[in-house]
């Protein structure tokens, strides 16, 4: 982004210089819509904090980490629901970003894990993961084990979801 801003300023400066060399008096002002603002408009943000920038530096001091965590979890649940229930094309990177940010936040502030449980996000998160996992795993009843052999899966979808959640936690 800094490189594109630098290139944009260099272009504007050269245009202004050419006009001045021609002998024209130019009343120059900052353009109303800068291209950097357009790029940042599509960036996911929670509480005024851009999620990608937070992921680059999770040690960034937050004013209210609890609210930030709540906002991340709310947006994550909304994006997962939109990707699961809507038939339209949805940005698949957004749920990934919104799931990585709470993980980084909880690593920096481990005491917030109690807050997540207290507000009742755990059942919501498990049901969102369960619904997505059941849709993916019901279609395929065979799986490849760790030794590379293909085996028939005898577990029910809820058991597979529980095992997948446990794998993520460990």
User: Could you list the residue range(s) of the whole structural domain that residue 26 is in?
Assistant: 1-42
Compute the average pLDDT of residues 23-33: 72
Q: How many domains does the chain have?
A: 2
Residues 19 and 67 in one domain: no
Residues 111 and 156 in one domain: yes
The tens digit of pLDDT for each residue in 50-92 reads 888 999 999 988 999 999 999 999 988 888 877 766 555 556 6
Supply the pLDDT for residue 170.
Answer: 47
Tokens 């109690």 -> residue: 114
This model's pTM is above 0.85: no
Q: Is 68 in contact with 53 (CB distance < 8 Å)?
A: no
Measure the CA angle with vertex 152, ends 148 and 157; round to 5°.
Answer: 110
Residues 125 and 102 in one domain: yes
Supply the pLDDT for residue 155.
Answer: 66
Supply the pLDDT for residue 114.
Answer: 87
Residues 98 and 142 in one domain: yes
Residues 54 and 97 in one domain: yes
Residues 77 and 136 in one domain: yes
Lowest mean pLDDT among 9-13, 45-49, 135-139: 135-139
Residues 164 and 84 in one domain: yes
Residues 34 and 78 in one domain: no
């Amino acid at each position: 982004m800094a490189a594109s801003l630098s290139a944009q300023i260099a272009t504007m400066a050269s245009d202004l210089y050419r006009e001045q060399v021609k002998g024209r008096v130019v009343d120059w002002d900052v353009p109303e819509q800068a291209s950097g603002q357009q790029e940042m408009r599509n960036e996911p943000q929670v509480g005024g904090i851009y999620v990608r920038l937070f992921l680059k530096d999770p040690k960034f001091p937050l004013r209210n980490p609890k609210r930030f965590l709540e906002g991340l979890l709310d947006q994550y649940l909304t994006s997962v629901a939109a990707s699961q229930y809507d038939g339209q094309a949805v940005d698949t990177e957004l749920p990934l970003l919104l799931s990585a940010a709470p993980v980084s936040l909880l690593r920096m502030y481990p005491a917030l894990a109690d807050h997540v449980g207290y507000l009742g996000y755990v059942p919501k998160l498990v049901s969102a993961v369960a619904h997505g996992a059941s849709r993916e795993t019901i279609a395929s009843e065979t799986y490849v084990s760790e030794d590379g052999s293909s085996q028939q899966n005898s577990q029910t979808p809820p058991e597979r979801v529980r095992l997948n959640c446990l794998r993520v936690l460990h």
